[in-house]
Chain A
Amino acid sequence: MSTSPSDAGTLLSLRGITKTFGAVAALTDVDLDVAAGEVVAVVGDNGAGKSTLVKVLSGVHAPDAGTITFEDRAVTIPSPAAAQSLGIATVFQDLALCENLNVIENLFLGRELRALRLNDVAMEVRSRELLDQLSAKIPTVRIPVAALSGGQRQTVAIARSLLGDPKIVILDEPTAALGVAQTAEVLNLIDRLRERGHGVIMISHNMADVLAVADKVAVLRLGRNNGVFDALETTSEEIVTAITGATDNAVTRRARRGRRATEAVKEADDE
């Protein structure tokens, strides 16, 4: 099940994270560990708390209870800026790119070099280096983002998150809106992030993508942990079962209903 908090190389660990919005408990007692050079997929059904977890980690929401340990220090993440200065970069699902600006301008937006006389040579060199390291297929960095494909935009957004040299990169549904080839491109990119030693948290709905690239799969169900699986040893059926709740550890009252749902999903999968 879950790894112990004292694991060697653990970069970020969450313990007992709880977040409620009024009467709605979005997260209850959630644990999560990420090591350097490890890709952890966080999966779960709609409303399982994935987005809330991302927002807690990126400083958008403060948790009501629980501890966050980053590089063996207990930390709080009160704001997005705090998350960035800690070294946690988030690529949100909507990417937050300005389509009217070119790739360089987007990469350096808000942290341009030399405010009163932009050093565009240094920025262009750095942009190209970064994109080359990611083996990104971007025709030219001086093209407006409006002219790029979905996969290329995702690449730009990920490259931008790497500019601050983060330890952890959080990707929220990185492949949700992409076609087959572009999805492969982004999965390659995630592989490269791991090779560079970043810890990666990947939120996803897509079992195939998760199993293709993740090292560990953490399942959330109704705002609670519902198992952590080794991606090499698990199957997509096992994960789907955990997502829909038909396991031994949680919400036993709903087990039967959940199993029925699982079978339905399996049938859908077989078709």
Chain B
Amino acid sequence: MSDLGTAPAPTRGETTVEEYGGGLRALTSRFRGGDLGVLPVVVGLVVIWTVMQILNPVFLSSTNLVNLTLECVPVGVIALGVGFMLLVGQIDLSIGSLSGMAAAVTAILFVGHGWSPWLAVPAAVVISGAVGWLYAQVFNRLGVPSFVITLAGLLGFLGIQLWVLGAAGSINLPFDSGLVAFAQLDFVPQWLSYTLIVVAAAGLFASGYLRARERRRAGLAAASIQGLLLRSVVLLAGAGVAVWYLGRTRGVGWMFVLFLALVLVTHYVLTRTKYGKSIYAVGGNVEAARRAGINVKAVYTSAFVLCTTLAAIGGVLAAARLAASNQSSGGGDVNLNAIAAVVIGGTSLFGGRGSAFAALFGIVVIQSISSGLTLLNLDSSYRYMVTGAVLLLAVALDAVARRSRASHGRA
């Protein structure tokens, strides 16, 4: 540590002075230490949007962006679940199959057996969650790598999906059902969108203010009122402009609101609860987590179950968006896009690093590439190649950051 010698000897009285601005210093040292967070993906997103807009001026049109927000959701929800797995240093390769199976189960119960969607969807989600529990039992008790368990699951549940769908191979969901309407037609009224944004900005400021007051009372470095105000105003203005712009055509879909809500809840759980810390601890150093008294097996189990549950929700949303469940639901690139999204979003494949926002930003990047290239009338061959290149870039960045961390760790 080069600044060891220059650091003032901390005595009890002057801790506040010494720590003043500690937040900023912690942030810069975090970046230098190789913990980049979502910064690279935000920069990447700006670049992609600029290039796409130059290539085709329709890209940033309100119509296209509304579509983009809706397209993001199904795979984004799946990606959120994969995030939990990557954080504990494991992976789930069967998310695509599970999402397809959940879509098939929902369709067969809803259309085939005439169940209410309020029963059919939870049934499909619970079945998928149970699969996650089963994975976790095999993982915890037998010690089979998650990679292999879920690879078996990928094949097995694809089979079940095909079997459930039967000979027809495709079940259409009625257009007048609430499920399809939710994914295609239901948009938040503009006034409500604006209200929600104001509430969110006010909530952000209030929570920040209370937190800063508590910290200042305890003699710790705290954000200034101006900084907090600025943050809230930026959110207010940014989200306000976005809502206004999307509102020029259809507006903000309820499905997208659901996705944002899931991301925010996940963010809270990961950063502000004991459970969230145990997720990071298990991903960072299993042995240390175990010795700290964390029930490591329970943490793994919860990650598996959350992942498969969110995969099922994503699968149902995909089927709703398509208004059909068929043999290719959850097939193709769903699996890899979901995993790629979290990695592009800055979640480390090595475990212990990442955030809920990785899924959000990552999926927006992937869908932006997909949407932009479609607008250019380029077929999926280009989409795969570009997405592959971006993924490679993201993983390379992760590996380099990891090496930087290692060298800083030694310093």
Contacts and interface: CB of A to CB of B under 8 A. Distances in A.
Contacts of B352: 98-100
Given A96-B285, A110-B293, A124-B218, A135 B1 contact: no
Q: Which of B9, B30, B291, B411 has the most CB of A within 10 A?
A: B291
A62 interface: no
Nearest to B21: A140
A109 B289 contact: yes
A175 B26 CA distance: 27
Q: Give chain A's interface residue range (CB within 8 Å of chain B).
A: 35 or more
A121 B293 contact: no
Q: Give chain B's interface residue range (CB within 8 Å of chain A).
A: 35 or more
Interface stretch (A17-25, A142-150, A235-243, A251-259): A142-150
Nearest to A108: B277
Contact of B23 (A125, A135, A142, A147): A142
A121 B353 contact: no
Interface in A106-122: 109-112, 115-118, 121-122
A17 B216 CA distance: 52
A127 to B, nearest CB: 10
Contacts of B211: 121
Contacts of A149: 1, 4, 411
A43 B411 CA distance: 30
Nearest to A111: B293
Interface of chain A, main secondary structure: loop
B408 A147 contact: yes
Contacts of A100: 35, 280, 283-285, 352-353
Contacts of B293: 80-81, 110-111
B288 A139 contact: no
B20 to A, nearest CB: 11
A122 B343 CA distance: 34
A101 interface: yes
Interface string A121-137: 11011001101100101
A142 B19 CA distance: 10
A143 B35 CA distance: 11
A174 B280 CA distance: 26
A124 B211 CA distance: 13
A201 interface: no
Q: Which of A94, A112, A142 has the most CB of B within 10 A?
A: A142
A146 B273 contact: no
A110 B219 contact: no
Given A101-B280, A128-B15, A147-B408, A109 B30 contact: no
Interface in A32-78: none
Given A111-B293, A117-B272, A121-B214, A99 B19 contact: no
B3 A139 contact: yes
A124 B22 CA distance: 12
Interface in B1-15: 1, 3-4, 7, 9-12, 15
B390 interface: no
A188 interface: no
A116 B274 contact: yes
Nearest to A81: B293
Contact of A140 (B25, B287, B409): B25
A129 B219 CA distance: 12
Given A121-B215, A139-B3, A147-B408, A101 B281 contact: yes
B408 to A, nearest CB: 5
Contacts of A131: 10
A97 B289 CA distance: 8
Given A110-B278, A118-B273, A137-B7, 18 more contacts: A80-B291, A81-B293, A96-B285, A97-B285, A98-B288, A109-B288, A110-B289, A112-B277, A117-B272, A124-B215, A132-B10, A140-B25, A140-B26, A143-B26, A146-B34, A147-B1, A147-B33, A149-B411
20 contacts: A81-B293, A94-B287, A96-B287, A98-B284, A98-B352, A100-B280, A100-B284, A101-B281, A102-B26, A109-B292, A109-B294, A115-B274, A115-B275, A118-B277, A121-B215, A125-B219, A135-B10, A139-B4, A140-B19, A147-B29
Interface of B: 1, 3-4, 7, 9-12, 15, 19, 22-23, 25-26, 29-30, 33-35, 211, 214-215, 218-220, 272-275, 277-278, 280-281, 283-285, 287-289, 291-294, 352-353, 405, 408-409, 411
